[in-house]
Structure 1
């Protein structure tokens, strides 16, 4: 019998270690969690997501971003969905979310459809958002991956944590890497998750500084962007530009190819390929769509396992906008 090689032993050790690390966060999440209580949840969410994207192609990217902004703040608990009240401050008005995070009405609509299909309030808003994000990736042409469910909804939220934990559009590579590392993500996983910017748009005010003050931006792209984004704050602040100018509504690895040609829209995009530690990973994904798809799917599952509320913690909201 052939003896195992040193590399195979090392690889096995990595798998075992990863499983040991991941198990506590996702111990009570399961793909079959709703098999008896609401077996149609996945098909119901998928149909609703497809309908929403058919109405507005941009919505898919918005839902993916909403999921990310939920999970990065106190875990995947639906906290971002809560409205402010006279006695409660949620996360919607935090800097990274105000006038930016969108898709709340779509999630509310999906919640209504799911509750109807289940015959009652069974599925949490946090789970609906996680499933909807996966389905958005698939509908836009990206990879599919399994979604363990069983999350419950938080009764609290944290505007301060949203302001401090979420990466910003003007941050440098070291800062972004640290924020992802604080959540347990490797550099490679961070670069893979950044590939979500293969779809979606950003407002002029978020890329103006890069557009008019940085030199590592493709000249043709810069000229095109300046036509819709003035050098000073004002009426063009809300004008949109595609994060990936080649395919803003189609999931793929064009984002990484664009970075290699200085076509990153945001400063935080282009720092992934600017002579730093992430360059080699960007090159890999730009040349290997399969590697990107696999790593992205795995990283999204890992993100969905960030500190979920399970068991009797939290609640299953009747209305995603407010606690019961």
Structure 2
């Protein structure tokens, strides 16, 4: 009996030690990201990125949404590691041609320009993954949205996964339970799901992403559906686009949620957040619709959390000199 007891205590202490080590390692990874990571090694990095983003958004306001989306599609595939930026080669398959990205994700040339400008300021110091994280924040700010502190120190991956991109990035056809599960699998709460979905207050969607919603579904305002059909025929026009927010698609605000209350969500997945059944997401949509400050605060916090997903730090990964290929 004593032997059994000592054995149990030994196992318990071993378990506690493993748990402590786990949390220590998590703390070490988090500690390696900091808001002032480049303050000495590249003090002009953030201002260089900000100026480039402002210029790109001024040139094309839609670009702000595209750059924000790049960061999201990067982070949801094996973490925020810049893998989405890698080009396919004869012996390497990246993520750009995965279903959710092909002929859809854009802004790569802007990232190229920013990377080149940052390299001119301090070569081999700032990662492409960090550039994506900062660009996402600066794009939102450029369109009138909130700012947040971006923790820095990510390194770039040397690999990518087209299969993970196909399976991990939420599709516009998902229903509410599928959305909750998909985001939960990445560590996000239902509240964070709704807050992050508010990114659709800017940008556009291709006809192929919402055709079924506007022709075959009832959870949409019929007049609104008809207006979308004018630019999205039942057959053809797959790449025609419509604004995700009918009222202010180039301004980061809370109008997206007001649209959902009126059953004017462009994507099936958008309108799933408000079904009129007084559920959790319904109440969150109503709250964000009535308070832009609440939405901005929750969105900012969710973006910080997303930006820290499975990052490479320390000696892991590399600092690419060209975001499109490994060194």
Counterpart for residue 181 of structure 1: 184
CA distance in 2: counterparts of 1:317 and 1:31, whole angstroms:
21
Contact 1:25-1:305 at 8 Å conserved across structures: no
CA distance in 2: counterparts of 1:264 and 1:22, whole angstroms:
38
Answering whether residue 259 of structure 2 is matched by residue 258 of structure 1, we say: yes
CA distance in 2: counterparts of 1:95 and 1:141, whole angstroms:
31
Counterpart for residue 195 of structure 1: 198
Q: Which runs of 5+ in 2 are unaligned?
A: 1-22
Q: Which runs of 5+ in 1 are unaligned?
A: 1-18
Counterpart for residue 218 of structure 1: 221
CA distance in 1: counterparts of 2:185 and 2:70, whole angstroms:
20
1:10-89 superposed matches below 5 A? 23=27, 26-89=30-93
Alignment coverage as a number of residue pairs? 303
Counterpart for residue 169 of structure 1: 172
CA distance in 1: counterparts of 2:313 and 2:259, whole angstroms:
40
Q: How many angstroms does 1:263 deviate by?
A: 0.4
204, 209, 212: which one pairs with 2:212?
A: 209
297, 317, 320: which one pairs with 1:317?
A: 320
CA distance in 2: counterparts of 1:216 and 1:74, whole angstroms:
34
User: After TM superposition, what 4+ stretches of structure 1 lie above 3 angstroms from structure 2?
Assistant: 19-25
Counterpart for residue 94 of structure 1: 98
Contact 2:146-2:296 at 8 Å conserved across structures: yes
Answering whether residue 118 of structure 2 is matched by residue 114 of structure 1, we say: yes
1:136-155 superposed matches below 5 A? 136-155=139-158
C-alpha distance 277-21 of structure 1, shift in aligned 2 (>3 A): farther
Q: How many angstroms does 1:219 deviate by?
A: 2.4
CA distance in 1: counterparts of 2:53 and 2:196, whole angstroms:
21
Answering whether residue 126 of structure 2 is matched by residue 126 of structure 1, we say: no
CA distance in 1: counterparts of 2:28 and 2:290, whole angstroms:
35
CA distance in 1: counterparts of 2:118 and 2:301, whole angstroms:
26
Counterpart for residue 311 of structure 2: 308
Contact 2:127-2:320 at 8 Å conserved across structures: yes
Counterpart for residue 9 of structure 2: none
Q: Normalising by structure 1, report the TM-score.
A: 0.91
Counterpart for residue 15 of structure 1: none
